[in-house]
Structure 1
Amino acid sequence: MDIKIVEKIQKLLALSESSNEHEAQVSMLKAQQMLIKHKLSLKEVREFKTFNSAIQEKKSTVSFTKAKWKSKLAELIAENFGCYHFFKTRYTHTITFFGREEDVAVCNIVLEYAVDCIDSVVKKLRYQYAKDGYSTRGLENDYAIGFISGLRKKFDEQKKANQEWGLVLVKDSEVVEAYSKKKFMRIIDTNTTFQGHSKVFEKGFEEGGKFSISDKITEGEIDGTLRLTEAMGGA
């Protein structure tokens, strides 16, 4: 039995218990497809005890200097997928996740996907605001912190509605111990404040609440292989 395949199915099954109806349905469908493809039973997957994967740190493709909202987004994602986050700093601050291998991979996928979603909407908003003669100063920040607030509310509701979901997200004790031994040379200021675009914040809040990790995990297959498999180093 391929441990990585089982772990992916287990994660999809955990997502299938989400309070978000669409996410739950998509995740269960994908889990069922993988069970059939790999000739596994639901009972086998639920009862299979996987060995803990290696603890690692991995840089994302996301960095920032002034866009401090990216650090807030990374913090929220790390909190909800069993990891820590910190920054590799040279000319910019590159977001890095620390945790179990598969959890770090998921954090990177979700962060990069969320940033792409935010950037795409902000680009359209900037165009429209500039066209209408309005200032775009602080617009990106306000949409992003709205999105993060909406996503946080969604995560909190999922944990409240499903105790097992909350347990899945708890940091592994070995990860906690390993992280406690790390030493950092400096503290990065990541404070950011609302800039006054109320409607933009509200739009971000609404869309953050609809954001779905399963949209990315199940975003098509290439020759029958999940894109998540590639991100996790192959099955």
Structure 2
Amino acid sequence: MDERILSKIKKLLALAKSGNEHEAANALRLAQKLMQEHQLSEQEVKLSEVSQREIKRANAADKQPQWANLLTGCITNAFGLEAILSWKRDIGASLIFIGPVDRVEIGTYCYEVLAPQLVKARKTYLASLNKRLKLTTKTNRADLFAEGWISAVRRQVHALVPTEEEQNLIQLYKEKHFTRLEKTEVRLTQDKKRDVSAFLEGHGAGRNVRLNAGVNGAEQGKIGSKV
């Protein structure tokens, strides 16, 4: 698909929404003419607004821990995206964000900054636990710590609900590019009373992280630890 032609069609379609009836009609006529010449449907033009970005996952396990899913959900909710788990030889365990081009870029950036911070914080907390504890107990507490961390970060952003048109386009994009999707299992944490403090400690640590992203997805996200 010729990006130059596609860009011209998009600009004409935007002008077709002008309040000036003559200008709008002329822009729509020219856009339709270009689409006909290059055998492009209006749906194909709109689908060009949807893109994907593939990045390394925070956790490589086939059965994702609940905290890893919550981190992904934090990003998809904040920017109105969808995510797919994948595995490729050159990348390994990966995550694919799908949605409007600009928001995919920002969402990916946010994940790439947040994920290492969370993994490091969880690892540090895990190392601080009593060595006499069973490995399963330590892992569970570290997972709860991570969930608390994410909970604090999520409180800083408002969920961006994609429009019905965006949802439909993302679904069409997935049907076109991902024909063999399968459901994956999640490793749930055990919500035991004696482990509740781990979640609270994680929440306290997560409050030091700042996620300032434009609600409309048009601004660059600013993420980092509170100074």
Name the amino acid aligned to 1:134.
L
Unaligned runs of 5+ in 1: 1-51, 160-165, 220-235
How far the C-alpha of 1:145 sits from its partner, in A, is 1.3
Unaligned runs of 5+ in 2: 1-46, 214-220
Name the amino acid aligned to 2:97.
F
Identity %: 16
In structure 2, the partner of 1:110 is 110
CA deviation map 1:42-72 (0-9, x unaligned): xxxxxxxxxx983101112215314422122
Given candidates 70, 75, 80, the residue that maps to 2:78 is 80
The alpha-carbon distance between structure 1 residues 194 and 203, as it changes in their structure 2 partners (threshold 3 A), is same
In structure 1, the partner of 2:28 is none
In structure 1, the partner of 2:184 is 188
1:204 matched to 2:202? The reply is yes
> 2:87·2:94 contact (CA, 8 Å) conserved in 1?
yes
SS of equivalent residue, structure 1 residue 70: helix
The alpha-carbon distance between structure 1 residues 186 and 73, as it changes in their structure 2 partners (threshold 3 A), is same
> 1:64·1:70 contact (CA, 8 Å) conserved in 2?
no
SS of equivalent residue, structure 1 residue 205: helix
TM-score by length of 2: 0.57
CA deviation map 1:136-177 (0-9, x unaligned): 23233111111222233333xxx4xxxxxx6xx232444311
Q: Distance in 2 between matches of 1:209 and 1:89?
A: 32
Q: Distance in 2 between matches of 1:154 and 1:142?
A: 19
TM-score by length of 1: 0.56
In structure 2, the partner of 1:64 is 60
> 1:150·1:205 contact (CA, 8 Å) conserved in 2?
yes
In structure 1, the partner of 2:151 is 149
CA deviation map 1:79-111 (0-9, x unaligned): 111211121246865221111222112211222
Q: Please say which structure displays the higher CA radius of gyration.
A: 2
Name the amino acid aligned to 1:152.
R
How many residue pairs get aligned? The number is 157
> 1:67·1:141 contact (CA, 8 Å) conserved in 2?
no
Q: Please, what is the CA RMSD of the aligned residues?
A: 3.1
SS of equivalent residue, structure 2 residue 162: coil
SS of equivalent residue, structure 1 residue 133: coil
